[in-house]
Amino acid sequence: MDNESLNELEEQLVLLLTKPQWNNHDVEAIQELVTSSLDWSRVIGIIQIHRIAGICWLNLFRNEELLNTKCSFGRFYDYLRNIYSMQELKGQEQFRLTMGMCNKFRLEQINFALMKGSALAVGVYRNMGSRDFVDNDILVHPSEINKASRILKELGYIQGKVDVRTGGIIPAAREELLSWSMYSHEVHPFIKKVEHPFLRYHIVDMHYSVDLNTKNRTDNIVENLLKSSITFHEFPDVSCLSKIDMLVFICNHFYKEATSFDEILNYRDLLLYKICDIAFSVYNNDFSWEELVSKAKENKCNEGVYYSLFYTNELYKGLIPEEVLQALAPNDTSYLHKVYQYDSDLQMIEWEDPIVQRVFKMNRAAAFRL
């Protein structure tokens, strides 16, 4: 195991199972760990909270030697396979509905680009069972938001929230719709009820800015992102961010959430699936590092990109070239361990424990609840 900061065998196994690529030493270490008497409730708990069962199963499935290794907890492989299979069916339905939306946007000549979610499942992992996603993020220029909103409403989507008791959708009040857009980077989510065993609602988050968790406008950046968007070879009507833009975006997205006090309280700040998105994007890259550094600085988000790549490299040692980190690093890197109030410079916390231990400290929010 190449990460000596982890003390527990359970954490070592989880981190190994999510690596983008295994060497012989990794395979031997996994074999030893899965045949050991681990606390399997902790292993499964970590995997479930971090939403990485699909990634773990895909990695195992691609290694025949490990698949044939008898696990000390006989149900572990079944658990991973079952979660993966559910995510695959759910993801396929999500993407089918998303393609319907994209086709309508094409007909109405609306420029758009998918972000995160299904775009990463198709473009990075190349497998719909790889990751679970609740909503479907799409970038639209601010000038076309009203037009895109009209189309979604015609398709049966409602801006509102789910009534947990009845399962229906409660439309948002006009005041809520206005305030949501005023203080956010997106319009109020669109929700459509779906009849599917693993998907109850198709949720669309329509972004008009890439400065996440703020009300800052980034119209010029959005326009450039849409111009450089790409389509999938097998899905020519579906546009997504280019690979380099997607990596910059998910890095900045992780940075914004990892440094948000509210996200800590909601257990969403340091989820491994987000770091895996970055790690697998880097591993499967066909871009130049120079281009990444240039793009991050051009969009004035090199702090966020450095933060995320630094964290990723702390967990998956050697994945990010040192010279790339040096090129992105700001003069002051103390922010790597700080957490702030939503959309402000008000510091709430400064972490003291190492990053790799912090990721697996599942009760870290408890110390800050009032």
Per-residue confidence in pLDDT tens, the chain, 370 aa: 566 556 699 999 999 999 999 999 999 999 999 999 999 999 999 999 999 999 999 999 999 999 999 999 999 999 999 999 999 999 999 999 999 999 999 999 999 999 999 999 999 999 999 999 999 999 999 999 999 999 999 999 999 999 999 999 999 888 888 777 666 678 899 999 999 999 999 999 999 987 755 556 678 889 999 999 999 888 888 999 999 999 999 999 999 999 998 888 888 899 999 999 999 999 987 789 999 999 999 988 999 999 999 999 999 999 999 999 999 999 999 999 998 887 778 888 888 888 999 999 988 877 665 5
Cα–Cα dist 269/349, whole Å: 13
Whether 229 and 248 map to the same domain: the answer is: no
Q: Which of 218, 241, 264 is the last residue of a domain?
A: 241
Nearest to 180 by CA among 160, 162, 210: 160
Whether 70 and 161 map to the same domain: the answer is: no
pLDDT for 186: 82
pLDDT for 369: 58
Whether 65 and 126 map to the same domain: the answer is: no
pLDDT for 17: 98
Q: Which of 45, 74, 103 is the last residue of a domain?
A: 74
pLDDT for 347: 87
Give the number of other Cβ atoms within 10 Å of residue 242's Cβ: 18
Domain boundaries, position 278: 242-370
Q: Which of 241, 257, 280 is the last residue of a domain?
A: 241
Give exposure, 158-186, as e/b (b: 16+ Cβ within 10 Å).
Answer: bbbebeeeeeebeebeeeebeeebeebbb
Is position 79 within any domain?
Answer: no
Rounded to two decimals, what is the model's pTM? 0.93
Whether 21 and 46 map to the same domain: the answer is: yes
Phi, psi of 159 (to 5 degrees): -85, 110
Whether 294 and 197 map to the same domain: the answer is: no
Is position 314 within any domain?
Answer: yes
Cα–Cα dist 194/172, whole Å: 19
Q: Give the CATH number for residue 155.
A: 3.30.460
Whether 151 and 52 map to the same domain: the answer is: no
pLDDT for 236: 87
The tokens of 336 are what?
A: 């790597």
pLDDT for 6: 60
The three-class DSSP label of residue 139 is strand
Is position 207 within any domain?
Answer: yes
Whether 234 and 99 map to the same domain: the answer is: yes
Percentages (nearest 5) of helix, strand, coil residues in the chain: 50, 15, 35
Cα–Cα dist 12/317, whole Å: 13
